[in-house]
Structure 1
């Protein structure tokens, strides 16, 4: 069904030299690097294994690039384009890499604008406009504009990581498109670089050279504008009848903006061209005022078609948003993050979110209540409510915004894929379209997970296509052809905001006439005569089933993995392919959550969870990464992963990079000498047990030159003070008063607590007893965490097996297990069963609680703690956040009566062995600077705060930061120490005098 180059463009991009085995020594990359070194000095250009992450976006496709360039200016972009034109190498512009249509990947050079060209350049509050670079993340613009009561209207669900350049490329919309429409509506002008390196400005009146004194550019721009004017003049009737028919008609090029009645608006005509006509380097955008008040209705329906039937009535009330989703997304969220991760939904199996806004809260609320009554009277709605709580609103919007990722990996283990995730019809036709579309799915025996912008008639759906087999690909092709015909019959468009890309470009001929297809080709040819910009997209499109990222490759060299990966059908390969490119790991701290601390510190795609997952996927394919588990490129990609595990809960598809890294390190160093820190830190439970025998003289020795020498020999940074070891007597003394003849729980004394802070074990035992949970201590056991984090999995399994054998049999084998150290609790809860894979391991894991969890679930109903401080600064351990997220210390402290709990949300940066390793100290401190250090500084400025950090790593990092600040006396206490009934009264408790 794909039309050839003659019928579409009359030309093709210059052929590329071969790649892969047997490729020539210089495939163009070396020549390009030499050219760029001379014309764009200082610009980083990555080649080889460091480009693995850029072979993918959030689509079904994989196209490995030759190189990735990180421009800092329009001049750098022009240099790349000129060099690529000279060598015949294509260029693809990329922002956040969140495209679901395959329009952010390409076979030549990928330009990553998010690394450096990512600034808000100016905000003119009087005019209500902002100038931004192409790589600025939408949320950064919205934050800057929000200080002036303004925002950027379009708000895709990927707002925390998508860039303005990408939004311009796709003509993105978002959740509030009912009010604000598409990105193009908010564009005042675009600063572009053409395929032949000309720097120009596209605005509402046409096209002009950026530098009027540049005669050559002025002449080239005039020629280009004349050619486009002639094209439009020749096709006036065609453009008026086929384009701009419905609000979400994004497919193809938006040539209607060039009509005489629209003033030859070149800025808006270039929006939605997906980087195929010019490279956008900056934009001037119009901002909108933020409404003072808003209200959210959550409406439940028995069926998405019933929900769609109510949309026309809802639109009469001028809402800002009308968003829909089905039950599969909600069920997946609750299963992955706990039942309380979705609060505030009414009954039903499909839901609409309806947001209204206005100037006064009371009036908006009254209007929302009236709309709710109207919908109840119509009889289709099963249930509905006004969502008043800000917390419930955030929870509900997060479900909707994580929809694409949540729908990718469902409860039954099945996978769903984009490809037909973006069709749109007029809102009044939505119910009929959905009814016919679901019948089409059933006819093809496919399942689709539905969500989207129902108020704009735009439906996102992920379908359980089988792209791994020839038969499955053929079936997907037949379905997509019929789906295209269906949406066209309903007067709709193939794409409503994601663009056509590789997913729908071939299908444009179903939607448009041959003459319009030729007009699109002529428009591209005017801008890009050699066809070098984003080839295979919109014009001369690649087949929709070409370049699919076929998954399910074998593990390199056939070696079995030690982790069992019980939630992934294909083991390690299935686990690695969980990443579908949604890119939530590229969000900064303002987006909430903890993932991904190293990316937040470096801003480098290769340091994101997504970048690492893509490197692993490339390793499994064995095409661009040829040395499998021994790959140094993959090792380097994983190097800055702090193994915080936050991705396992923050990532919508549950990527667990800490586990993948541990498995990789095990395989990578199998039979080889390891880094020194793997021995010095990985074997810490063993060496600390020996150290306890001679703690006092050893501590004195470690504080002097010998300690620095040993640190250097062990690959440990000398910028940190090595924590003092506790003696064996200290633990016995700490637990002496907590013995009981009738325990109702076991207190697991972990290696960190035993070695460095035995007083925490004593405090934990006393708190448990005070709360009606008397415990018996279990000492001499280890969870194996340090061996896991350093990839010494064979040792870890032996250690774990011994621990499980002790805990699963004999007296107390049914009792809850309370662990004071959150990282060890998480290892027992998750790593032990997934590494051992035995019923005994699963039984033990089911009994594990953190202290927070024990006090939440097991404490006596009438228990009340000693008097607590008025305010607490809390650092929650990342492993506790990830593994025990439904039992959070913040919630417990609030419930126990602490009036003010401030949480330094995010990783502390030490992360076990990571921050002690010499080569990682800088990254460790950069991560601390993201959240923990600013919170400590702010708390110290208001007086000496009470700081609670249950994790030994977190407490150690806090002590280190206090030393760097000159010794302010800020010490972190464990929750058990805070609640210890035997602890002395604190000066900041209620009623005390400082």
Structure 2
């Protein structure tokens, strides 16, 4: 029977009749055509099973129609294992429950869609932080248990805890034709007692597996499990008699090609009481690798390696404060030691350092002193795959040969030969990885946009496979073979071993519908490359996308095309904790609402064959961008710096060109113009807000009627606020600082301008206030870029006064707009000069404190603690710790920073259709933080939209701008 290849074909009808949640829309298929690899394979549909029964029913239908099936968790496969041409089963939405924990047996059973960090957190909570699930790949904040089993993932602590397969006790699975079986450490049996068909299938499979072992006994013993990270191919050595016929572990690393795993019982390990991190600096990664055998004698929990390219990229994207705790060097090792006694650990660390000093290769070393520094270093390592994708020299780097492994003692000579091979092909790379386990992650500067470049990639991969095999190594150490390396298995294994792999796959999936083209009967590594087939043509834009992406190197890709293709699919935007990105995904858990999902739809757009003007009118792209808050958190939280807010603004500017816009674009988007009017008629406007007319007026403008609306300030209010306490304002030429009174401050809270001026004056600085310019932020966020550019051009002309004085902007979103959007939309030297002078208020406070100013608190001491909601734009433009750094510089050590977006993000939360999602986002982090903050503890929210959301959640809360806190509580000293 042939596969029905129509998106709404005959296979879809029976699935929908069964109540399976199925999506075959063009937008959805675009989202799931990619993972974190070099590949693009568009599926026919995406299903979201809610139960094991639905999985079984789905597979029965797919088996009937010979429809290929690909299992997917977080979609973070770097080898192309999470994409397929048939039906994709996404387990992450519903099948993500921790089913049970057995503290006595140290086991847990969970559905395969559970994210690893969620599994670890829930296990820790249920065991009073005594136990955890050990495997911790760098993608653990979005990778799922099922994906870890499929790839036999390892992680940063694999030196201590090994691979995922080392922790598997049992797997509940569904066969290709829909039967439910359970694989254990000693065999296979039906999941449901009394299921006759499943019983018969278990018996048939058991007999077939025993026969396979008997036929290939010598090959299994001599070719498999030769090094700690031999993940390539099937793990058939677990079926050997001396290993107890471990069917569960034999399926680890099978990449979804044999059965669909729905839940797993895994072994848990104790959490060590304490640990310390030692960072070691080297001249290069080869020197670092030479010390690995000596380091391993100290029984470390982790030994991770990185090179300078990752560190340089991190600092470029996120500032110098983003990397802390590294000694001098050009390559580094992180060595973590753990145990029960801190003194013993420090003594052990001292002994380790003394031993390594004798080798003469360590340039410098240090014990990482603070938790903040530890988190900084681990984040650099965990973001390595993304950070190394866009290098500081402008080159792009790609996976394909990113996961080879050798025995740890062979690592140094292997790396040396690998560098020689790269040089022979004229390629460069970034190297990092689990050096203590002999696993090397690297991204290579392949040119995947041209036929010549793709041929070079294939030739290099074949040569690299020969090289790693000559060192007794494996093509893959934890990422799996997938589409990237399956065709190379014949270099690593004998023909007899390849025959055993085929026999194993055929026993489980005789029809060949489960993840076809991977491991067995592989497709070519140059088939279905995502950058192949993208038309080379100009995409005229208002934004200058060459300033937000790496310079074009070696190809003709249009700047906008290269920008939207920046997403490489690592999926950090799907994380539920850490950073801010992506607020809408955290609320909906839908791929379409992730930065990655939106990027993939944009990537489909630039692949289109229609004229560019028509592609800009894509309704699928508009729908994908609808719940983007334009918060800009992705521009810093995404390891490759995807700036979805800019892409959205650019797209909307074209989509609505010569079209009627949504009503909110005229009401909220034109806010700078409306506020000029309300400043003159504020009493009348506020009277309307307090009357029954408020709701119909709001509804007329597309504004939600369920939100508390702000009161308008009058021009008179602003004049009073800016009065110099009875003294004339100094001449502009004589002042130290320009205080920019932005549109939001003028229109809604001029009292903050007064506080800001007083604080700056109290620091000994003279200030001139400028309330004559607007950044046009609301026009930018609604894609009205022509009007926004006019306002920004005027702002640049006025503010470029020939001085280098700081321009302090009270509203952080306006400060961010002038710092980031101004030079991208106004292509002039004046725009660049003004952007460099922009400061947010907390940033200028830090500068003043560094210069020697300290406020003299009217109270005996500063506030004991402060809760801070950092505006997302401030987070992206000025750093996540800008407010916290200012408060600590002022002597306030106990700062609680809300870890997430408030949900308003300018106009987004005021739009009627977005109110519910706005409040869902607020309930993730902001609402709990407010509820747990004492009434006498100050809450700071410099962003006006953040203040409005807090007022919506708790109308009786007083919320302050940092300037107000300082003005009310201190004087100068």
Give the TM interval when normalised to the shorter protein: over 0.9
1:947 equivalent to 2:924? Answer: no
Please say if residues 28 and 87 of structure 1, whose CA atoms lie closer than 8 Å, have aligned partners that are also in contact: no
Superposed CA deviations along residues 567-626 of structure 1, whole A, max 9, x for unmatched, are 33332111111100011111112xx21111111111111100111111100111116999
Q: Structure 2: how far apart are the matches of 1:129 and 1:623?
A: 53
Offset of residue 862 of structure 1: 3.4
Counterpart position of 2:857: 866
Offset of residue 33 of structure 1: 2.3
Q: Structure 1: how far apart are the matches of 2:736 and 2:238?
A: 74
1:353 equivalent to 2:345? Answer: no
Aligned length: 951
Superposed CA deviations along residues 812-863 of structure 1, whole A, max 9, x for unmatched, are 6432100000000000000011111211111110000011111212455133
Which of 18, 34, 47 is the aligned partner of 1:56? 34
Unaligned runs of 5+ in 1: 1-13, 19-26, 964-968, 987-994
Which of 83, 95, 105 is the aligned partner of 2:83? 105
Which of 671, 676, 680 is the aligned partner of 1:689? 676
Counterpart position of 2:405: 424
Counterpart position of 1:122: 100
CA RMSD of aligned residues (A): 1.7
Counterpart position of 2:807: 817
Unaligned runs of 5+ in 2: 553-557
Counterpart position of 1:131: 109
Q: Where in structure 2 are the equivalents of 1:193-342 lying within 5 Å?
A: 193-342=174-323
Superposed CA deviations along residues 42-93 of structure 1, whole A, max 9, x for unmatched, are 5343432222111111000000111010111111111211111112210000
Offset of residue 945 of structure 1: 2.8
1:901 equivalent to 2:892? Answer: no
Superposed CA deviations along residues 307-332 of structure 1, whole A, max 9, x for unmatched, are 11110011111111111111100111
Moved more, 875-884 or 380-389: 380-389
Superposed CA deviations along residues 947-982 of structure 1, whole A, max 9, x for unmatched, are 11100000111111113xxxxx212111111111xx
Offset of residue 562 of structure 1: 3.9
Superposed CA deviations along residues 251-291 of structure 1, whole A, max 9, x for unmatched, are 00011111111111100000000000000000000000011
Counterpart position of 1:958: 950
Counterpart position of 1:43: 21
Counterpart position of 2:601: 615
Q: Where in structure 2 are the equivalents of 1:780-819 lying within 5 Å?
A: 780-809=772-801, 813-819=803-809
Counterpart position of 1:602: 588
Please say if residues 302 and 350 of structure 1, whose CA atoms lie closer than 8 Å, have aligned partners that are also in contact: yes
1:881 equivalent to 2:864? Answer: no
Offset of residue 30 of structure 1: 3.0
Counterpart position of 1:733: 720
Q: Structure 1: how far apart are the matches of 2:541 and 2:604?
A: 18
Please say if residues 853 and 887 of structure 1, whose CA atoms lie closer than 8 Å, have aligned partners that are also in contact: no
Please say if residues 773 and 858 of structure 1, whose CA atoms lie closer than 8 Å, have aligned partners that are also in contact: no
Offset of residue 702 of structure 1: 2.2
Counterpart position of 1:24: none
Closer, same or farther in 2 for the Cα pair 1:291/1:54, shift >3 Å?
same
Which of 633, 643, 647 is the aligned partner of 2:620? 633
Q: Structure 1: how far apart are the matches of 2:452 and 2:23?
A: 40
Which of 19, 30, 34 is the aligned partner of 2:9? 30
- SS at structure 1 position matched to 2:264: strand
- SS at structure 1 position matched to 2:221: helix
Please say if residues 66 and 107 of structure 1, whose CA atoms lie closer than 8 Å, have aligned partners that are also in contact: yes
1:88 equivalent to 2:66? Answer: yes
Counterpart position of 1:511: 492
Please say if residues 539 and 560 of structure 2, whose CA atoms lie closer than 8 Å, have aligned partners that are also in contact: no
- SS at structure 2 position matched to 1:766: helix
Please say if residues 229 and 405 of structure 2, whose CA atoms lie closer than 8 Å, have aligned partners that are also in contact: yes
Counterpart position of 2:555: none
Please say if residues 944 and 970 of structure 1, whose CA atoms lie closer than 8 Å, have aligned partners that are also in contact: no
Please say if residues 277 and 527 of structure 1, whose CA atoms lie closer than 8 Å, have aligned partners that are also in contact: yes
Closer, same or farther in 2 for the Cα pair 1:893/1:328, shift >3 Å?
same
Superposed CA deviations along residues 859-890 of structure 1, whole A, max 9, x for unmatched, are 55133243432221111111111100176111
Offset of residue 390 of structure 1: 1.1
Q: Structure 2: how far apart are the matches of 1:127 and 1:267?
A: 18
TM-score by length of 2: 0.96
- SS at structure 2 position matched to 1:630: coil
Please say if residues 189 and 201 of structure 1, whose CA atoms lie closer than 8 Å, have aligned partners that are also in contact: yes
Counterpart position of 1:22: none
Offset of residue 503 of structure 1: 0.3
Please say if residues 170 and 271 of structure 1, whose CA atoms lie closer than 8 Å, have aligned partners that are also in contact: yes
Please say if residues 321 and 455 of structure 1, whose CA atoms lie closer than 8 Å, have aligned partners that are also in contact: yes
Closer, same or farther in 2 for the Cα pair 1:360/1:266, shift >3 Å?
same
Which of 331, 338, 355 is the aligned partner of 1:374? 355
Moved more, 781-790 or 73-82: 73-82
1:702 equivalent to 2:719? Answer: no
1:493 equivalent to 2:474? Answer: yes
- SS at structure 1 position matched to 2:765: coil
Q: Structure 2: how far apart are the matches of 1:252 and 1:873?
A: 52
Offset of residue 212 of structure 1: 2.0
Please say if residues 294 and 357 of structure 1, whose CA atoms lie closer than 8 Å, have aligned partners that are also in contact: yes
Please say if residues 311 and 455 of structure 1, whose CA atoms lie closer than 8 Å, have aligned partners that are also in contact: yes
Closer, same or farther in 2 for the Cα pair 1:83/1:556, shift >3 Å?
farther
Please say if residues 846 and 885 of structure 2, whose CA atoms lie closer than 8 Å, have aligned partners that are also in contact: no
Offset of residue 557 of structure 1: 8.3
Q: Structure 2: how far apart are the matches of 1:553 and 1:518?
A: 38
Offset of residue 985 of structure 1: 8.3
Q: Structure 2: how far apart are the matches of 1:899 and 1:363?
A: 30
Which of 698, 701, 717 is the aligned partner of 1:711? 698
Please say if residues 594 and 906 of structure 1, whose CA atoms lie closer than 8 Å, have aligned partners that are also in contact: yes
Offset of residue 303 of structure 1: 1.2
Offset of residue 984 of structure 1: 7.0
TM-score by length of 1: 0.94
Please say if residues 821 and 950 of structure 1, whose CA atoms lie closer than 8 Å, have aligned partners that are also in contact: yes
